[in-house]
Amino acid sequence: MQQNIVIGVAAYAIADGRHAGWNYYGNREQDIKAIRRAGGTPVLIPPFLEGDDAVGILERLDGLYLAGGGDIDASFLGIPTTPLIQNIDLERDRMELALARLAYRLNLSVLGVCRGSQVMAAALGGRLVIDIPAEIKGAISHNPQEPAEFISHPVQLAADSRLASIYGRQSLMVNSYHHQAVRAPGENLTVTARAADGVVEAVEAPDRDFYVGLQWHPEREAGNDADISKIFDAFVGAARKNG
């Protein structure tokens, strides 16, 4: 009998434009399908769990996936509020930060994409670049106005990183859609990829089986580009070993 690898996917509120006051909890189809293609069984986690409920959920999972989305509110980052922080969802912030911390403590396999990588860093005490164009002089374009599959720039992977091992090389061309990034990775996290302008593109926890955050969007290529999809195969594979 084949092992069922259950991957918790942090969900968020989605407003129904046709019915005022009606909200749904969900995540994007492309993220769900990327996990499914790699052999995982995605299960949505509603964004209002906390305390013992969150621990109980994670203890029943084989892995946790944190997707892209809006910015983390300033109150969770220990900085003054600024209009540069956009598309805030306090309920989502509160739960995802708690889940990221708990998952690290439990050594649960975690993959974070874009916002997800920033959540992982912030959860462990890291700091963020709030707006790349405003803070990094000479930065390349990290948020191009191009189709979702547009490959925008290269990243360099650290030679001893899990990512370099997964991809079998130290340079990747990636699709990039973000105006924020990790500035300092936080406790027990290591920067394992950067763009040519020095912007952090990936973080990992070397002391955990699989705790990897990417600033780019492999889920938008998963199933179409087998090379890019390697990260989902590695994530679900690590979750399978933990299951």
Mean pLDDT of 205-234: 87
User: What backbone torsions phi and psi does residue 99 show, to the nearest 5 degrees?
Assistant: -65, -40
Residue 1 has pLDDT above 50, yes or no: no
Q: What is the mean pLDDT of residues 35-61?
A: 89
Cα(233)–Cα(243) distance, rounded to whole angstroms?
Answer: 15
C-alpha torsion angle, residues 45, 50, 55, 57 (rounded to 10) = -20
Per-residue pLDDT, 29: 92
pLDDT on residue 136:
82
Q: What is the pLDDT of residue 243?
A: 64
pTM reported for the whole predicted model: 0.93
Residues with catalytic function: 114, 217, 219
The domains of the chain are located at 5-242
Q: What is the rounded CA–CA span in Å between residue 54 and residue 145?
A: 37
Dump pLDDT digits (tens) for 148-206.
566 678 899 999 999 999 999 999 888 888 888 999 999 999 999 999 988 999 999 99
Is 60 exceeded by the pLDDT of residue 82?
yes
Determine the pLDDT at residue 221: 73
Residue 50 above 80 pLDDT? no
Beta strands at 211-214 and 127-129: parallel, antiparallel or unpaired:
unpaired
Tell me yes or no: is domain 5-242 CATH 1.10.1040.10: no
Residue type at 198? G
Structure tokens at 164: 């370099």
pLDDT in tens, 3-45: 799 999 999 988 776 777 778 889 999 999 999 999 999 999 9
Residue 182 CA to residue 117 CA, distance in Å, equals: 8
* pLDDT (tens digit per residue) in 105-150: 999 999 999 999 999 999 999 999 998 888 888 877 767 676 656 6
Average pLDDT over residues 218-222: 80
